[in-house]
Structure 1
């Protein structure tokens, strides 16, 4: 793990030849209420990045099971931000819905191979223009995502289509990618020359995040995203628990503000936020916004029809995600605002965040980042 000035050592001895820091998941922490409570109706959940203000701090993950142009428009109208995957089926096929329906009906054993076949179709630049244009015509903020590998090829098409926010998203993104085979994307130069704000990630520790901030990112995605953290750990041995990752990158943002004379870079939690409790705790650990995949894949309007998958699930050489069945629990508006009918943390996620903040005595998200937390490792299932 990266070390940074002023850090308190938490290293433990794993064996005589290796030491490591203890790290915590969001399940390992809990929020501590303060002496004062607030009326939930007074809580402000608004969030702003660059010139774009949103009533909700919820960003839909650029995943085909979550976002179509139509669902991006609907989320935008409800106060959030939808991000379209510009390497997904919506930019490979004129009418991808039959293929989305086919994927949703696949069993787990055959899903990976069939998805690899479906996603082998080439990306069509004219479809990038058409899909982003459809969102723009609806009058909501337009956001699209590419991986670092595809950014050089398609960024100009994305910008010319009228994208307001550009997202560069991968499992792990660095500002200093080195390759002996090809010229890598120079993030600092790219962001400097681009006319739109860039959100980039994922990162999971202090130093890589600080480098992305120095490269000019408007926002940094924290985590591995894509619903693939468990399989990324199994396939690659890579994992940093979200609570520790957010706390480290919250510190990087603080130090970068001092270094840059006050430039504020937004910290966005991405991955492993499938229930309202995890979402709430992400803000408590320092997030300004959250990127949601599974939490929104359960909406009736989601293109995956209750099935959920990310780009990692159909990677041609090394799949490290999987298609999962979540089921549909209600319309998107109900998922965000309720009413809820179960205590599973799947419905009324805005209401849960508002209630938690008011219970702890906070009215604004940036204030809520200062809330006290305790470490409570979950060693047994709750009753």
Structure 2
């Protein structure tokens, strides 16, 4: 059945859905929350919870990456952020936290991020995480990957993340700049690679064919992103995840059984959004703003991404995320309010138990309804 609608005589558009426009439906069976498993595995790595910390300086430091790892998730460090530019970025983060004027904040961010990325700091930060005994993950943007990936791999990273607003299997670049060939790059690496973002079936299918272990789903849908306003690009997450999950199923058949994980990345502000992402087909979620709200997050109540300090066209804004609760309380509770900002995993377990599903793969089959707004 076609979901296209007519915008005008010369244009049609496909009807898509945000998390606010859908809801999950209980079945005839319920179960105790103690009988629910939220475990997730990718490649050889097993996690107690399906949560990745977004590689953003306001969210992940070596300390919070370790903390999330010990809570059962995966912290992904931004390897082109402040932690790999400064021996001690804490004074820089503190100075940024004191700035409330948006124009002054942009000026200051451009200044502090102008410092060069240092290979020895990449090694030191990843070594610090490894020494804590948790899975080590680091992220680079596509245009920095060729420059720094050898340093990252030598440092002993377990999972390598290539993350941008959008990542394609084939990127057309200026003739004097060597484009990143993802298929060749992933084939030559000895570590599993997670790539994204992708927001469409075709893009996701192409990324899966590169050999990626996981695909990040999202395009400018995060709380700190202004891509919708600056570029006019928008990919409502409920439909985007369902589309990429469809690509996963088709690629599973095409490849003879190779499973590529779908990881929702963006628009996940509350536990309800996290739950709906899993219901739409995500295997795990990458959280930014939801974790930036932690009182012990490195952003000190502020949240921003790499696109917020672009030299020519910022496509994000530094936002006041507040300080809801300590990091561990946001993940495992107890929640002090009913707004979905704390005890994210407790809410996921409750939703799974209420709808009668025992693990995350089963929960992907839960019924979903469209809710008129």
TM-score between both structures, scaled by the size of structure 1: 0.95
1:54 counterpart = 2:47:
yes
Distance 1:287 1:374 in 2: 17
User: Which secondary structure does the structure 2 equivalent of 1:126 belong to?
Assistant: helix
CA shift in 2, pair 1:230/1:168, >3 Å: closer
Written as runs of structure 1 = structure 2, the 5 A alignment for 1:1-383 is: 8-107=1-100, 108-181=102-175, 182-224=177-219, 227=222, 231-378=226-373
Distance 1:314 1:158 in 2: 24
Contact 2:221/2:236 (CA < 8 Å) preserved in 1?
A: no
Note the alpha carbon deviations across 1:155-214, whole angstroms, 9 max, x for none: 000000000000000001000111233220000000000000000000100000000000
* Greater alpha carbon shift after TM alignment, 98-107 vs 191-200: 98-107
Contact 1:206/1:249 (CA < 8 Å) preserved in 2?
A: yes
User: Which secondary structure does the structure 2 equivalent of 1:76 belong to?
Assistant: helix
Distance 1:170 1:228 in 2: 15
> Could you tell me how far 1:31 is from its partner in structure 2?
0.4
Distance 2:221 2:4 in 1: 29
Name structure 2 gaps, 5 residues minimum. Answer: none
Distance 2:106 2:162 in 1: 24
User: Which secondary structure does the structure 1 equivalent of 2:312 belong to?
Assistant: coil
Contact 1:306/1:326 (CA < 8 Å) preserved in 2?
A: yes
1:5 aligns with none
* Greater alpha carbon shift after TM alignment, 119-128 vs 294-303: 294-303
CA shift in 2, pair 1:229/1:309, >3 Å: closer
Distance 2:196 2:316 in 1: 18
Note the alpha carbon deviations across 1:30-53, whole angstroms, 9 max, x for none: 000000011111110000000000
Note the alpha carbon deviations across 1:2-55, whole angstroms, 9 max, x for none: xxxxxx421111111111101100111000000001111111000000000000
Aligned structure 1 segments of 4 or more residues deviating by more than 4 angstroms: none
Note the alpha carbon deviations across 1:124-182, whole angstroms, 9 max, x for none: 01000000000011110000000000000000000000000000000010001112332
Contact 1:229/1:239 (CA < 8 Å) preserved in 2?
A: no
Calculate the aligned-residue CA RMSD, in Å. 1.1
Distance 1:358 1:267 in 2: 22
CA shift in 2, pair 1:152/1:226, >3 Å: farther
CA shift in 2, pair 1:228/1:328, >3 Å: closer
TM-score between both structures, scaled by the size of structure 2: 0.98
User: Which secondary structure does the structure 2 equivalent of 1:302 belong to?
Assistant: coil
> Could you tell me how far 1:329 is from its partner in structure 2?
1.7
Note the alpha carbon deviations across 1:298-333, whole angstroms, 9 max, x for none: 112210111111111111121010111111122211
> Could you tell me how far 1:236 is from its partner in structure 2?
0.7
> Could you tell me how far 1:225 is from its partner in structure 2?
5.5
Distance 2:25 2:340 in 1: 19
CA shift in 2, pair 1:229/1:250, >3 Å: farther
